[in-house]
């Protein structure tokens, strides 16, 4: 390895923990940037630059060929952005570093000061304001903030609809909604809508609301309803076409796939009367301190300002705050990145770029997005308060099964998915059905992923290692999902999920290989208080061994749903299979069982090669549940699993300290006696670890807090058992 590579990896601790950050060599040039600096200065500590661009350009002028490198040091304070900071190939071998306490804030928000706030006096708008808020709501002209007139949201959206975000003292303020806490529910579905055929012939659904309040909303100016209209993993916000205040009938302007009304409604019914929905972004529904809405007709933002606020800002920057393209050995270190409406950091192409020891928060998009390149890493970062997902990683070559070497290690990720409430995971590996965004050879390790609306890890691709992560309190506003979730691909093989600890996720299966997903290994994991431990939905060659599942309704599940759902002739599964060329190297060498599925005479609808063996269930009413007709699971090995039903006496698993979330299996446990080859699970190594950039760890008492009961979760709780019962339902 060349000298600059050795130095860079030591400084940023990209791929393995270090006891302390290495000192920067004395010859390395430094440039300093401070909020009160001046770009006419020389960029020294005493006379710093004002902008990152000036420091970047100074670094570009420095000769960094051979062993050259450079450091930009940010002083504490707010470093404001109105555009992305762009780093390119010519910016390689560059460290942008803040103080160890992360007090250098790269901030993309637009400040709103008191002079921009006008009281809402007498007039039509004042009359529309809720009586509880009258005299308290202020209007803010978007043009005065430099934002212009915001675009009207589309008729249907799942990602915030282009609305800005508003923050007070670094916490997001809630968009006005009704009801405030518990969502409303549909009284009766009148019309599911028409969703097939030419766009001109499609029609949104119609339903009867329960409350007369719906008649007060101004449909002409625009009313949008957010709801889980059919299933608990697919919310949409839809514009209202009409409201009849007499009958409380609401007609929606856009259709959703398969129409509104719960999928799990009784036979013959259009819905079950429990579908949750809320009205959002209406001035009439500002009735609590901190709530706000954007009124498109007037180009004004209406807000009930919270008391004692020092800083109020709005996020509108749609591009990433920092964009790194085709660079090598760039490090973002000890920074606080915040305030944009898009992503925090985007890395594409290049090699060995890292985001390390940073806080990434209060963004409308994702925290860090990595696409392509080799050996990039996100390490020891705190990522939270996001509209979309935490870390999204793709890279590698699926055709050649070549690894990208990307890593997400030792990150604390929580409270995300504020705008996109499902499929906005703490960590994404690859993008389903996107051959241009694969995930091959990524590592996700030692992360703490918690308090999430949907999944903790969504993954696809090949040869990814997901190990030593702690996950709790997921699926808070959704259901029928996994803490670790993948679906619908026979070729997504070679992924290993081992030594993870999933706990307190009553609305999620811990490990969920849904709808035929195949070829994963799930071993040595500990699951406590989840909907199910490991849930295999009709796929092939999944191996489940040496796991411990405690206090779950279902410990291990396998079904043959492919028989009823027509996997044998499914065009998507077969197209994906053919595109991998499993009869050619390297696929035929690495995954020989896959080539047999090419033969249309082979019954690919029935799972084959599945192994569930050597696992433990403790106090699980259903230690091993199967859902299949006789003979459909003949190609599976389901044997030698241990059921410690009572969990006491001779069946006491002898966990070290379960009340303190220590599920180390002690010597003398019947697990080791009854399963001869059961290995020791390295429980103490699971989750966040101390390193140079993470010197303290979350208290166990915080980690053990039960999953909060949210209104959406309460509304979707009914769907868990229904969706499990429907495991073989082809609808």
pLDDT digit string (tens) for 467-480? Answer: 999 999 999 999 88
pLDDT of residue 350: 98
pLDDT of 70? 94
Burial 89-112 (b: 16+ CB within 10 A, else e): eebbbbbbbbeeebebbbbbbbeb
Write the CB contacts of 291 (distance below 8 Å, at least 6 apart in sequence).
Answer: 133, 173, 174, 175, 176, 177, 285, 303, 304
Pick the closest to residue 145 from 185, 100, 184, 110 (CA basis). 110
With a CB cutoff of 8 Å and minimum separation 6, the contacts of 656 are 662, 663, 664, 665, 666, 683
Give all strands (DSSP E) within 426-525, no chain letters: 427-429, 443-445, 448-450, 457-459, 465-467, 470-472, 482-487, 496-498, 501-514, 521-523
- Cβ atoms within 10 Å of 309's Cβ, excluding its own: 15
Q: Tokens in use for 681?
A: 């699970």
In this prediction, residue 20 carries a pLDDT of 32
In this prediction, the residues of the chain whose per-residue pLDDT falls under 70 are 1-28, 65-67, 700-702, 704-731
526, β-bridge pairs: 501, 548
Q: Which two tokens stand for residue 494?
A: 């070679």
Q: Residue 8's pLDDT is what?
A: 44
Three-state DSSP class for residue 512? strand
- As a whole number of angstroms, the distance between CA 250 and CA 205 comes to 9
Average predicted confidence (pLDDT) for the chain: 90
Place of tokens 């993954």: 459
What ranges in 556-623 are assigned the alpha helix state H?
A: 562-565, 571-580, 587-590, 592-595
**Residue 103: CB partners within 8 Å, gap ≥ 6?**
76, 77, 336
Q: What is the pLDDT of residue 729?
A: 44
């Amino acid at each position: 390895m060349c000298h600059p590579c050795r130095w860079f990896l030591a400084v940023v601790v990209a791929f393995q923990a270090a006891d302390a950050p290495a000192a920067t060599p004395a010859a390395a040039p430094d440039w300093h940037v401070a909020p009160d600096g001046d770009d006419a200065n020389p960029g020294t500590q005493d006379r710093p630059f004002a902008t990152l661009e000036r420091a970047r350009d100074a670094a570009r002028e420095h000769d960094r060929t051979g062993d050259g490198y450079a450091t930009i040091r940010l002083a504490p304070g707010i470093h404001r952005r109105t555009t992305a900071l762009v780093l390119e190939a010519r910016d390689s071998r560059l460290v942008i570093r803040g103080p160890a306490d992360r007090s250098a804030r790269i901030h993309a928000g637009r400040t709103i000061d008191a002079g921009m706030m006008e009281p809402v006096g007498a007039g039509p708008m004042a009359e529309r304001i809720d009586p509880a808020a009258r005299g308290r709501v202020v209007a803010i002209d978007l043009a005065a903030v430099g934002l212009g007139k915001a675009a009207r949201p589309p008729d249907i959206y799942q990602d915030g609809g282009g609305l800005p975000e508003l923050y007070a003292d670094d916490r997001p303020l809630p968009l006005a909604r009704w009801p405030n806490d518990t969502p409303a529910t549909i009284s009766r579905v009148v019309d599911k809508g028409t969703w097939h055929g030419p766009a001109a012939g499609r029609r949104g659904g119609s339903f009867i609301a329960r409350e007369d309040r719906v008649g007060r909303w101004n449909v002409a100016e625009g009313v949008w309803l957010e709801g889980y209209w059919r299933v608990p993993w697919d919310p949409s916000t839809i514009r209202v076409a009409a409201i009849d205040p007499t009958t409380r009938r609401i007609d929606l302007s856009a259709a959703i796939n398969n129409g509104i009304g719960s999928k799990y409604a009784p036979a013959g019914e259009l819905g079950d009367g429990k579908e949750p929905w809320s009205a959002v972004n209406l001035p009439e529904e500002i009735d609590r301190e901190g709530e706000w809405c954007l009124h498109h007709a007037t180009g004004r933002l209406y807000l009930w300002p919270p008391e004692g606020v020092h800083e109020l800002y709005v996020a509108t920057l749609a591009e990433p705050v920092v964009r790194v393209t085709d660079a090598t050995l760039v490090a973002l270190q000890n920074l606080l990145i915040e305030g944009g409406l898009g992503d925090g950091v985007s890395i594409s192409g290049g090699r060995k770029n890292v985001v390390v020891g940073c806080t990434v928060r209060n963004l409308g998009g994702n925290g860090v997005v990595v696409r392509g390149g080799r050996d990039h890493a996100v390490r020891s970062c705190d990522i939270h308060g996001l509209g979309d997902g935490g870390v999204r990683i793709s890279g590698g070559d699926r055709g050649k099964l070549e690894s990208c070497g990307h890593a997400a290690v030792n990150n604390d990720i929580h409270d995300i998915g504020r705008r996109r409430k499902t499929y906005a995971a703490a960590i994404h590996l690859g993008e389903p059905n996107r051959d241009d965004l694969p995930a091959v050879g990524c590592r996700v390790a030692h992360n703490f992923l918690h308090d999430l609306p949907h999944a903790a890890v969504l993954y696809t691709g090949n040869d990814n290692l997901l190990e030593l992560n702690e996950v709790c309190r997921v699926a808070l506003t959704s259901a029928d999902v996994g803490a670790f979730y993948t679906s619908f691909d026979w070729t997504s093989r070679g992924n290993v999920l081992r030594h993870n600890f999933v706990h307190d996720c009553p609305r999620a299966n811990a490990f969920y290989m849904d709808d035929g997903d195949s070829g994963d290994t799930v071993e040595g994991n500990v699951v406590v208080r989840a909907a199910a431990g490991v849930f295999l939905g009709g796929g092939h060659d999944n191996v489940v061994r040496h796991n411990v599942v405690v206090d779950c309704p279902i410990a291990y599940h396998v079904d043959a749903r492919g028989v009823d759902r027509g996997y044998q002739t499914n065009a998507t599964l077969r197209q994906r299979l053919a595109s991998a060329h499993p009869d050619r190297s390297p696929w035929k060498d690495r995954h020989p069982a896959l080539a047999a599925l090419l033969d249309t005479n082979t019954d690919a609808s029935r799972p084959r090669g599945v192994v569930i063996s050597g696992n433990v269930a403790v106090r699980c009413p259903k230690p091993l549940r199967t859902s299949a007709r006789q003979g459909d699971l003949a190609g599976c090995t389901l044997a030698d699993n241990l059921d410690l039903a009572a969990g006491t006496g001779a069946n006491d698993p002898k966990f070290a300290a379960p009340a303190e979330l220590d599920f180390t299996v002690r010597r003398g446990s019947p697990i080791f006696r009854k399963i001869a080859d059961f290995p020791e699970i390295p429980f103490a190594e699971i989750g966040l670890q101390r390193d140079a950039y993470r010197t303290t760890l979350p208290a166990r008492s915080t980690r053990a807090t039960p999953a909060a009961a949210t209104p959406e979760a309460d509304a979707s709780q009914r769907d868990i058992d229904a969706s499990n019962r429907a495991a073989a339902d082809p609808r």
